[in-house]
Structure 1
Amino acid sequence: MARWGCAVVTVAAVMSLGSISGTAAADPAPEMATHASDTVGYGPVLPQGDAAWVAYGLLGDTDLAPQGANDWACKPTAEHPRPVILLHGSWNSAIGGFSRLSPQLSQAGYCVFALNFGRPDVAGAGLVQPWIGAVGPITESARQLAVFVERVLAATGARQVDMIGHSHGGLVIRQYLKDGGGADPADPAANKVEKVITFGATNHGTTLIGLGSLAVAVQQHLSSGFLPLLQEFIGPGGIEQLAGSPYLTQLNADGDTVPGIEYTVVGTRYDEVSTPFDATYLNAGPGATVHNILLQDGCPLDTSTHNGLPYSPRAATIALRALDPDNPPELACTPNL
């Protein structure tokens, strides 16, 4: 299917996702072979999240790296000893999600790495295309992340990494920590991750602006095969993020956090995808620290929506403060249209 032709199906699939979300009565089995993909070359610094998502997540050259990322000769400094790994959101790519944030982190002195994950091995319908990332099962994406982490640690000589995840990427991080080898509950000192920062992560699922009641009606009362049919268009990773899904029930069953990790969770009041926005917040379990931050606290000027979060100057300074609280930059407060 041509990429421009896919755009029409993409819009229809996203609209369908919005109209069937909510407490899922049943999840289809998330069966799909996927892979991670290395970046090749560098793309431009893009000013706006939605445009970047369309141009470099759905339709454009999604193999390009965001500037500042994936310099495999980069060695961490004493000031910034941990590399930072970036995880993009659903139906996106590393450059589509982080073309603006990645160079900011690099210019601040961090070794930055980003991968494209969850790409289907075989083309399907709608958003299930080999160049579109974060489509496959989240557990499979977490395994791809685990391999990438080992490559980063080996190349940099670092003992640990920090991670930043947007939307779907936040769940991949949490899955890696819970069940993918990223953390050791018995010995937090052996964790491979020190700090986690998420932007609009669907940590407790999304109702997509309250349209979930339609999903329940369709799935439970009209057609029990509706969600499996939708999965053919958006992929298992999209279905798994619905509020009340079996996947999320299992992920959150033993608590939101793992010991030894410091979490910074950023939400925006104007999030139209991860809704309600405060469902992104985490509850701290034993041995973990959680900072839940609303982007608009102290800055009503920043009206960032979901895809705008990684492009928000304020969110960038929140991330930089979380990574290095001893040398915090001044919090930005500017409009992010």
Structure 2
Amino acid sequence: MNTFSPLFPRRSLLWGAVAATALALAGCATQAPSLAEAPPIVFVHGNGDTAALWQTTVWRFESNGWPRERLYAIDVPYPLARDEDAKPQPGRTSAAEHMAYLKAEVDKVLRATGARQVVLVGNSRGGNAIRNYVYNGGGDQTVSHAILGGTPNHGVWAIPGFREGNEFSGTGPFLRGLNAPKNAAGDEVSGPVRWMTIRSDHNDKFAQPDGVWIGAKGTATHVSAAGPELKGATNVVIPRIDHRETAYSAAAFEATYRFLTGKPPARTDIAPEKTVVLNGKITGLGVDPADPRSGNFSNNLPLPGAQLEVYATDAATGARVGGALLRKTVGAEGLWGPLATQAGVPLEFVLSAPGYATTHIYRSGFPRSSDLIHLRPERIAEADKDASSLVTLVRPRGYLDPARDKMLLDGAPPPGVPAGAGVASAKVKPSGGQRPIAAEFNGERVVGQTWPAAQGRVVVLEITQ
């Protein structure tokens, strides 16, 4: 879990001004359930991501009275799509495998809750699995509402003859099948499931007319900012949000809550708890067979034998306050907790495992309990092995946009961050020995300590919002 820092109000004002009409329509389309009988919600992350990205969304639902035991964020073991969907590829899943995993998880939730139906909320590729499940896996009977944030429903590209075997090709068989008209009006969705899409007005890197983000700058993708919309669905547009913020932002939560209940949430900030209990999973990095030197092939498999220490830190300096709050070697399931701690106290997580750098992850204080604090040790790239220290700012739930966001890393604008909300991290190589180092992002401040890279150590400053 991460810390909560209030989102700056400018975005909420824009959201209210532009999307009020769409939300009013969404409110008319549904009836507010009693939260005592709130439907279970299953959250489905995107390509290469983890369940941990839903942490703040889960907190917002809890802060509005949604029962914690009816909120499920799933981890796809191999979250990356294949380069060509029909060809097996180690460490990656086909669209059919992705859908089968979602179906199995929904069945588990239905059995655990006794509910007849679930709500599915997906980001990016997660929306592909949701649509596939509803139309080809029996989900039309088990899903009441489907909310798709930033899903490339008409492709990341739609170029005839270009990588059409890929799941994200708008002209390929997978998306053409899902987008086939469902009625005489040509709608791309059908009942009884109620559908909503959430997209950016222009700032989603995977809904761009130019192929810059797919390595084809100057090539027309034949996809516009409206690519995530579906004919026949409630389609919500939120200004300036990026690809991940279509699902994980406060504005996306507000749209989702309204669609499900027919009314606005009581709050979009996160209600703090007096004490928190933290838990999660430690996962590793696979090696891409096509590029064994990469060392960063995403998966969500446990990393048995990994060791973790957790320390409280000083918010101003990042220095440890007292001894370790927890020391543990994780078992086969990779679970590192539980850890009961004081709400709002910043923490340092120190991960070590054979084949990895000792990774110091600094997080702001946690306002609420969560079992979605997934941790992953890093590896030091060959190009960085001569650095004095390695420090990375990461923002898992959104991207970094110099034109939109106020951010600093070690007192300066983060290096190597292009315009257009296209990257979610920035790295510096500070010198000068061990010292405090801070990352700031739109009002949230995370402070850690530098550690010597020569000792095989790296530092991660993780933003929550």
Return the offset for 1:144.
0.9
Partners of 1:161 and 1:252 lie apart in 2 by: 23
Partners of 1:80 and 1:316 lie apart in 2 by: 20
Return the offset for 1:167.
0.7
Which amino acid is the alignment partner of residue 138 of structure 1? A
1:100 aligns with 2:87: no
Question: Which residue does 1:294 correspond to in 2?
Answer: 237
Gaps of 5+ in 1: 1-42, 49-75, 184-190, 220-226, 229-235, 285-289, 297-302
Match of 2:262 among 325, 330, 334: 325
What whole-Å deviation, never above 9, does each CA across 1:232-266 have from its counterpart, x for those lacking one? xxxx8xx2112211111122224321321111111
**8 Å CA contact retained: 2:154, 2:175:** yes
Larger RCO, structures 1/2 (Cα 8 Å, 6+ apart): 1
Return the offset for 1:44.
2.9
**8 Å CA contact retained: 1:167, 1:274:** no
What whole-Å deviation, never above 9, does each CA across 1:111-147 have from its counterpart, x for those lacking one? 21011226179x99xxx775xxxx4111211111111
SS of equivalent to 1:278: coil
Gaps of 5+ in 2: 7-32, 84-88, 183-187, 209-223, 270-403, 406-441, 443-465
Partners of 2:179 and 2:115 lie apart in 1 by: 29
What whole-Å deviation, never above 9, does each CA across 1:23-81 have from its counterpart, x for those lacking one? xxxxxxxxxxxxxxxxxxxx335779xxxxxxxxxxxxxxxxxxxxxxxxxxx965443
1:266 aligns with 2:198: yes
Quickly say closer, same or farther: Cα 1:202–1:78, change in 2 above 3 A: same
Quickly say closer, same or farther: Cα 1:102–1:143, change in 2 above 3 A: same
Return the offset for 1:331.
8.0
Quickly say closer, same or farther: Cα 1:331–1:281, change in 2 above 3 A: farther
**8 Å CA contact retained: 2:47, 2:79:** no
CA RMSD in angstroms comes to 3.2
Quickly say closer, same or farther: Cα 1:295–1:312, change in 2 above 3 A: same
What whole-Å deviation, never above 9, does each CA across 1:283-335 have from its counterpart, x for those lacking one? 12xxxxx2111012xxxxxx221123233221111111112114654789xx8
SS of equivalent to 2:195: strand
Partners of 1:291 and 1:81 lie apart in 2 by: 21
**8 Å CA contact retained: 1:265, 1:280:** yes
Which amino acid is the alignment partner of residue 272 of structure 1? K
Between the two proteins, the alignment pairs up a number of residues equal to 216
Question: Which residue does 2:122 correspond to in 1?
Answer: 165
Quickly say closer, same or farther: Cα 1:304–1:171, change in 2 above 3 A: same
Which amino acid is the alignment partner of residue 113 of structure 1? Y
**8 Å CA contact retained: 2:198, 2:247:** no
Any residues of structure 2 matched to 1:226-305 within 5 Å, and which? 227=163, 239-255=166-182, 256-269=188-201, 270-275=203-208, 276-284=224-232, 290-296=233-239, 303-305=240-242
**8 Å CA contact retained: 2:110, 2:116:** yes
Which amino acid is the alignment partner of residue 191 of structure 2? P
**TM-score for the superposition, normalised by structure 1:** 0.57
Return the offset for 1:194.
0.7
Quickly say closer, same or farther: Cα 1:98–1:312, change in 2 above 3 A: same
Which amino acid is the alignment partner of residue 116 of structure 1? D
Match of 1:194 among 144, 149, 163: 144
Partners of 1:47 and 1:306 lie apart in 2 by: 20
Quickly say closer, same or farther: Cα 1:162–1:120, change in 2 above 3 A: closer
Which amino acid is the alignment partner of residue 144 of structure 1? Y
Partners of 2:192 and 2:261 lie apart in 1 by: 17
**TM-score for the superposition, normalised by structure 2:** 0.42
Identity %: 24
Which amino acid is the alignment partner of residue 234 of structure 2? H
Partners of 1:244 and 1:47 lie apart in 2 by: 41
Partners of 2:4 and 2:207 lie apart in 1 by: 23
Partners of 2:196 and 2:180 lie apart in 1 by: 21
| Higher Rg | 2
Partners of 1:120 and 1:268 lie apart in 2 by: 23
